[in-house]
Structure 1
């Protein structure tokens, strides 16, 4: 039963992780519902494995035990009056409790709604506000949370008139046998809050059929095979962590090892230690910044071959933000002696509105880039008085199973290869709708096609992503990608990814100009002025015009629930005065 915490469960003899292989024939997510997928996985020996901050196994959790706990949770939900279609909000902490509650809500016919944990870059009130808004949107009958954040989660629940319960209190009542509803493949399976950087998150409603189709796309795209094992530190409230590294291992029967996200943040190399230590680990995913921080941490160390063995790492997935080839090359340089192969990199592209994956690079092809002139990216004529500038655009692979992609121009007509436009996709895994938001749903879904809001181009069925359409800075008719400006500032000494937010503002004379907010960690007034002028010169070299440079306190720039920079929110906070820059002399 799932009424004991990890630490309270009897472990018996030495802990043994769930195996990579067993006698159960592998099925690649070819199920009608997710409950059916878990039922099948539970008949084998594979499962989930949870580790402490140093990567030591503290809980092996076979799929069979997850199913038993989920069914017990479903009985508790039904006993509490939960009906099919009700929303059950739950804080997505990586562990057995959330896993059982999420699957239990599905067995009960309810829609689990995973919500984020507090982060190190936001305060208590900000977290309560975030939860309260998502609770207001999803209108759940219950919010479940770990006891250690009970004060904050309880405050958010009370603000919305939602019943809030700590996990231990939910499990304090013994389950009573109740008939569980039949699952419908076309019913909503769960509600996922998209962490889109340029707008407030929407509740993305995903059906069982859409989920299973996308999970089958993962196994086909990554060529999952017998003996594969996965390692993940990704948060379960984000689509790549939830769908790619929790639901997909169940539906494709892959034993998986987990570090909590906060443990990775404190000790990033524990991720690579776990990959090295666990025999058979072949699959692991990360956004670019995960590879970046590991390469930075190891740069001052030697003898990587003595500590790590990354030779079995067959699929090193990369997604969830713009893929930077310079970072990927730094990771290869840092860990080649440990057996890591550049061909293991597997770029991909996806979004919650498509359940997760839209494209995946064929395994073994690695990072492939095209150098594209800025004039092509911005759609503006070449200024012959300035030298040509180029940007490396990463190939994000081919469409996953049953997915179609079109690149459309300004008036909606499909464009030929090599032409940059809006990325649209269509397939069985596209979302059902934005929950209780018909206007946004109608804007995003047109004749079965999803407007991703991203810009890119196709070449022989391979997709190249250029950036977010709504992030574009347009000044005097010329388009500038904020990623380009931010990247340029990151090249200056002392700055890292996430320290800079670029966007357009209106100046005193009514003209638009690029504004750059930069985390400043120096206190000397003269040094701050020097820094501001250096940044201004750097941005001028990119845009050809002066910009507004504001130095702001560390951790001032807002993030989405998945930890990505939110430029739109940064702009709003800056214009409203909630982000206060340091005062500098002219």
Structure 2
């Protein structure tokens, strides 16, 4: 330890030296409302804000995670690549395991992004039973699998999904591929949470797996009702969501419309939450606190969702919603359609509205490309535009952009607000623009 701190002005003491130090006053225990830490939000939809975590809120959420959400036992062992500066890594795989005395095997997040299969290898080698990831982590494992090793994932009883939208398609691919190596379909454990509730708010029941709900998006966009799709619903109008489970004990969730009327069933509205895990507010930001945290203790999460029986289904962020000619357009639908149209040549996508108010808005789509060949770019452009017309049915202005254009938060989420701001400032290169052809040609060469 001393050699590791040679260049730092940090003293290193042995236990014997500690015993020789003069005794001070008795330690003052923390009170329930005393500050535990300040967790800054990742800033996916706005500028980062400092979320106050109290001794009471953090302890309540750790208890809910360990006893209800994950149902931890003495035989459980965690595995994590999640960064400890983000709430899912800090609370889910550091503080909560410490509270329950569960062992955790860690790998560096950068090692995971370079070699994601090392995550699965660690679970296989150490018989890990619990691990978490956003959807993209499972998707990355499918893309990078080379069938060059043997894995045993039969011990993995809780494969948590959180931190972003739960997308069924890549998770189903993961089930099919790694099911051959012992991964159980029922092991998937979708959940919902946010830093304002410390971490977790809902968990799918253990063993349930992916509870899918396919709805008619055309009706949803026009009525805000999540009506189940039928055999006559065109495929391009279908969208499958995944239930994120039951609310934590001693917590409440309400789905409300914009007049604060409580909705039930399949009516889509604002997700509002109340309970002991909820933060008292934002650090030195009274305006933001008053906007999100009600005087009655209810938190407006900024997310939209509906009830599937007694389980919560999350449909997206209200701030990301694009209102176009009376329709509610989800940017994720546009982005996923674009990525599916040219998966081997394209990276991340970002959709947002620009221009005037109401029907004067224009839908913008930026799509990262892994090529700068003009002919390939033209092929990608035509394929993506055709896919969007078929699956989304709204006019979109598509701009193909270089890799690395998108702005990603510390938790791996796309920051649409910051990408939009970057675009409006003219700081994004259009790979197909005539005045950029020389730049593209030079880079290609």
Q: Give me the TM-score of the superposition, normalised by structure 2.
A: 0.88
Q: Which among 217, 220, 228 is matched to residue 64 of structure 2? A: 217
Q: Give the CA deviation at 1:257.
A: 0.8
1:14 equivalent in structure 2: none
CA distance in 1, matches of 2:249, 2:347: 33
TM-score (norm 1): 0.68
Which residue number corresponds to residue 437 of structure 1? 285
User: How is 1:270-349 mapped onto 2 (pairs within 5 angstroms)?
Assistant: 270-279=118-127, 281-298=128-145, 300-301=146-147, 307-349=150-192
Contact preservation (8 Å) 2:41, 2:195: yes
Shift of 1:580: 2.3
Structure 2, unmatched stretches of 5+, are 226-232, 436-445
| SS of structure 1 residue aligned to 2:9 | helix
Q: What is the DSSP-based 3-state SS (H/G/I as helix, E as strand, rest coil) of the residue aligned with 2:95? A: helix
Residue of structure 1 in register with 2:418 after alignment: 569
Question: In the alignment, is the contact (CA less than 8 A) between 1:406 and 1:425 conserved in 2?
Answer: yes
Deviations 1:186-206 (A, max 9, x none): 101000011141101110001
Q: In the TM superposition, what is the alpha-carbon distance from 1:498 to its structure 2 partner?
A: 5.8
CA distance in 1, matches of 2:100, 2:216: 41
Superposed counterparts of 1:302-451, under 5 Å:
307-380=150-223, 387=234, 389-446=237-294, 447-451=296-300
State yes or no: 1:184 paired with 2:184.
Answer: no
CA distance in 2, matches of 1:171, 1:235: 27
Unaligned stretches of 5+ residues in structure 1: 9-145, 148-165
Inter-partner Cα distance in structure 2 for 1:380 and 1:480: 12
Q: What's the C-alpha RMSD, in Å, of the aligned pairs?
A: 2.6
In 2, the alpha carbon distance for the partners of 1:205 and 1:544 equals 43
Partner of 2:427: 578
Query: In structure 1, what is the equivalent of residue 443 of structure 2?
Result: none
Structure 1 residue 519, shift from structure 2 partner: 0.7
Measured after TM superposition, the shift of residue 375 of structure 1 is: 2.9
- 1:264-316 Cα distance to aligned partner (Å, 9 max, x none): 1111111111111114x211111111111111122x426x6xx2111111101
How far does the alpha carbon of each residue in 1:76-102 deviate from its partner, in whole angstroms, 9 at most, with x for none? xxxxxxxxxxxxxxxxxxxxxxxxxxx
Measure, in 2, the Cα distance between the counterparts of 1:424 and 1:545: 30
User: 1 CA distance for matches of 2:62 and 2:404?
Assistant: 36
Q: Distance in 2 between matches of 1:270 and 1:490?
A: 26
Whole-Å separation in 1 of the counterparts to 2:243 and 2:10? 47
Could you tell me how far apart the structure 2 residues matched to 1:545 and 1:186 are? 49
| Structure 1 residue runs of 4 or more that deviate by more than 6 Å after TM superposition | none
Name the count of aligned residue pairs.
419
Give 1:413 deviation, angstroms: 0.7
**Deviation digits for residues 26-52 of structure 1 (CA, Å, limit 9, x no counterpart):** xxxxxxxxxxxxxxxxxxxxxxxxxxx
Distance 1:247 1:223, change over 3 A: same
What residue is the counterpart of 1:539 in the other structure? 388
542-551 vs 445-454, greater mean Cα deviation: 542-551
SS in 1 for 2:362: strand
Cα shift at 1:387: 4.1
Q: Is 1:465 aligned to 2:314, yes or no?
A: yes
Cα offsets for 1:186-231 (capped at 9, x unmatched): 1010000111411011100010110011011111221111211101
- Residue of structure 1 aligned with 2:117, choices 269, 273, 276: 269
Give the CA deviation at 1:495.
5.0
Per the alignment, do residues 496 and 399 of structure 1 end up closer, same or farther by CA in structure 2, a change over 3 Å counting?
Answer: farther
Contact 2:347–2:403, Cα closer than 8 Å, also in 1: no
Partner of 2:40: 193
Residue 436 to residue 552, structure 1, CA distance change in 2 (3 Å): same
Partner of residue 440, structure 2: none
Larger deviation: 171-180 or 314-323?
Answer: 171-180
C-alpha contact (below 8 Å) 1:424/1:451 kept by paired residues: yes
Give CA-to-partner distance per residue, 1:157-211, whole Å, 9 cap, x none. xxxxxxxxx7x33346997655443311210100001114110111000101100
Q: Deviations over 1:132-153 (max 9, x none)?
A: xxxxxxxxxxxxxx99xxxxxx
Aligned to 1:170: 10
For residues 219-258 of structure 1, the aligned pairs below 5 Å read 219=66, 220-258=68-106
3-state SS of 1:433 partner? coil
How far apart are the structure 2 equivalents of 1:381 and 1:204? Answer: 31
Matches of 2:186 and 2:44, distance apart in 1: 30
Q: Distance in 1 between matches of 2:330 and 2:74?
A: 43
Please tell me whether the aligned partners of residues 224 and 268 of structure 2 are also in contact (alpha carbons under 8 angstroms): no
